[in-house]
């Protein structure tokens, strides 16, 4: 068990029933030439989350926790990509269009891959999702139920989109979610701050917000 400092209040977490969920730390979102960049975003703003995520990932592995990574992307024929989603932006930089890292947001292309700093181990599941939420049209919930997971430590990008959508989905399914604020990031700092505030509002309407430092401190004093 760990006692984790968080907003709106500290909570006890059983590590045996806890998974680390790292959302969409992909080249297409994090690096120049990917989907995020094609939409006109400053992708450098997401890189602040890399080192905190790496610290947490190392700690989770050391504790033997279940670690799950997600990737947003689509089949090469785009049969799982809604037309309204594909139609965003200029035709030359839409989902499926050729880019510096291969076809944009397409599974199997270099840009679809997770950044090297957070590369999954062979025994860490990678969930490929066609939407923003990690539960939508995936087997994530089956994985969690099979391992009797009740708590999720959530990291990733972007705070207000895929992280927020996944936390809302998890909340509706009864999972306790703790979002690690500095392990998440947004192209828009104000959206990051607001997204975190919304999660912890009204006594934790969607979950709790903590930090990598608070988690590391709690892990250092964990009890069996």
DSSP per residue, 41-87: --GGGGGGGHHHHHHHHHHHHHTT-EEEEEEE-B-TT-TTS-HHHHT
The residue whose two tokens read 């997971």 is 149
- Which of 129, 177, 182, 214 is labelled catalytic? 129
Known catalytic residue at 85: no
Neighbours of 14 (CB within 10 A): 11
- Which of 53, 155, 162, 184 is labelled catalytic? 162
Helices (H) and strands (E) in the chain — how many of each?
Answer: 8, 10
Known catalytic residue at 177: no
Question: Which among 136, 178, 194, 212 has a CA at the least distance from the CA of 13?
Answer: 178
Known catalytic residue at 132: no
CA distance 208 to 70: 21
Active-site annotation, residues: 24, 129, 162
């Amino acid at each position: 068990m760990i006692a984790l400092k968080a907003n709106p209040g500290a909570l006890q977490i059983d590590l045996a029933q806890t998974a680390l969920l790292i959302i969409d730390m992909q080249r297409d979102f994090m690096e120049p030439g990917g989907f995020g960049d094609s939409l006109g975003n400053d992708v450098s703003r997401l890189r602040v989350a890399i080192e905190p995520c790496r610290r947490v990932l190392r700690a989770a592995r050391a504790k033997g926790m279940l670690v799950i990574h997600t990737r947003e992307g689509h089949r090469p024929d785009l049969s799982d990509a809604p037309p309204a989603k594909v139609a965003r932006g200029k035709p030359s930089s839409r989902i499926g269009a050729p880019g510096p890292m291969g076809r944009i947001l397409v599974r199997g292309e270099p840009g679809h891959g997770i950044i090297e700093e957070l590369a999954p181990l062979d025994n860490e599941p990678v969930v490929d999702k066609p939407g923003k939420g990690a539960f939508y049209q995936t087997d994530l919930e089956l994985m969690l139920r099979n391992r009797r997971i009740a708590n999720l430590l959530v990291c990733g990008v972007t705070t207000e989109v895929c992280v927020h959508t996944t936390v809302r989905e998890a909340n509706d399914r009864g999972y306790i979610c703790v979002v690690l604020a500095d392990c998440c990031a947004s192209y828009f700092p104000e959206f990051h701050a607001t997204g975190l505030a919304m999660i912890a509002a009204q006594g934790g309407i969607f979950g709790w917000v903590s930090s990598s430092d608070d988690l590391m401190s709690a892990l250092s004093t964990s009890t069996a």
